[in-house]
Amino acid sequence: MEMESHTFDKLDLQLVAALELDARAPFSRIAAVLGVSDQTIARRFRRLSAEGGLRVVAVRDAERLGQSQWMLRLRCAPDSAETIAEALAKRPDTAWIGLASGGTEVVCMTRPRSPGDHDDLLLGKLPRTPSIMEIRAHQILNRFFGGPTGWISRFDALTDEQIAALRPRLPDPSGPVRIDPEDEPLVAALERDGRATYPELQRATGRSESVVKRRLAALLASGAVYVDVEYHAETLGYACAAVLWITAAPAALHSVGEALATHDEIAFAAATAGPSNIVVTAVARDTAGLYAYLSGRLGTLEGVQHVETTPFLRRIKQLTYARPTR
């Protein structure tokens, strides 16, 4: 796939692609593989953080942990949608919050860590909010694309040799896929800053550096946690994003999902429960590009019966909400 960046140049794309492979890789290793100096990589990282919204954060993989995950659609009074979105963004169990449908709808991904979290949000707080006129909840059943697999991989910014050199060498997973209570301070520190140094993690957890290294390696190897990269797609020249609620024929559900996972425009795709059975996030350069995708590659995909398009007006939250202090 060939994509051209408006703000990112080739080295910027290579840096973000390297971070998607191993977000904790030392700048020295990234620099050696990309053939530039350590100082150049550090300078690019700082600039992308300041201008492109680049952040590295740890994410709990709800699918691997066997936890429920929901996509919510909240139809709101027009003057209240932003306030509701901001309130949701402050919750630790939410991600990917956007204002949509001209500012009358909030789309939100929830990652409840316990049944109590889920009940508190869906059965407690949201129904009692008078400015919310309708709640639709779609449980995520199967992820086709997204999570540890990042959208930057679509750009083919790295050669196969560079990918092999950068891919982290993790131990074979031997333990269960879970986050133990004693791991919570470690994961919380990485949720604030996925590139926190081992001495910083040692101070945050009160555990020895060797234990921190061992536990982090085990969590990453099991897939309970992955370290992800967030950035503003607009800096790549992709200013148009939308959630697509797709209805596929039941017999074609998996094949449609697998096909969508290969489409360049798709940043996330999953099978869901609810009125539709697939939800995807599509990214395009502009509305013309989104229309071309809807009427072309998606519209002709065998098994697709219906598509509802919800354009994002503004993103409120990606993976995390508060900016890190360091």
The whole-number pLDDT of residue 25 equals 95
283 domain residue, yes or no = yes
What are the pLDDT digits (tens) for 170-221? 777 767 889 999 999 999 999 999 999 999 999 999 999 999 999 999 999 9
Q: Is the pLDDT of residue 4 over 50?
A: no
Residue at 221 is within a domain = no
- Give percent of the chain with pLDDT exceeding 90: 64
Give whole-number Cα distances, 78 to 73, 104, 124, 292, 303, in Å.
14, 5, 22, 29, 35
Instruction: For 119-158, write each residue's pLDDT tens digit.
Output: 667 656 777 788 888 989 899 999 999 988 889 988 899 9
> What residues have CB less than 8 Å from 326, skipping those under 6 apart?
193, 196
pLDDT tens across 246-296, in order?
A: 999 999 999 999 999 999 999 999 999 988 999 999 999 999 999 999 999
Per the domain annotation, does 205 fall within a domain?
A: no
> Distance of CA 297 to CAs 146, 259, 260, Å?
19, 10, 9
Residue 180 is inside which H or E element, if any? none
- Residue 36 inside a domain? The answer is no
- Give residue 287's domain range: 144-149+237-313
Gap between the Cα atoms of 136 and 100, Å rounded: 14
Give the Cα separation of 80 and 324 in Å (integer): 28
Q: How many domains does the chain have?
A: 1
Residue 160: inside a domain, yes or no? no
Residues in the chain: 326
Q: What are phi and psi of 33, to 5 degrees?
A: -70, -35
Burial class (CB in 10 A: 0-12, 13-18, 19+), 143: buried
Q: What is the pLDDT of residue 158?
A: 95
Give the domain CATH number at 289. Answer: 3.30.70.920
Q: How confident is the model at residue 224 (pLDDT cuts 50, 70, 90)?
A: very high
Whether the per-residue pLDDT at 323 is higher than 80: the answer is no
Residue 20 has pLDDT above 50, yes or no: yes
Short-list 301, 253, 37, CA closest to 141: 253
- What's phi and psi for 80, nearest 5 deg? -120, -10
Q: What angle do CA 180, 184, 190 make, to 5 degrees?
A: 125
The candidate with the shortest Cα–Cα distance to 220, out of 249, 179, 252, is 179
Compute the mean pLDDT over every residue in the chain, rounded to the nearest whole number: 89
Residue 257 falls inside a structural domain: yes
309 domain-assigned: yes
Q: Is residue 280 part of a domain?
A: yes
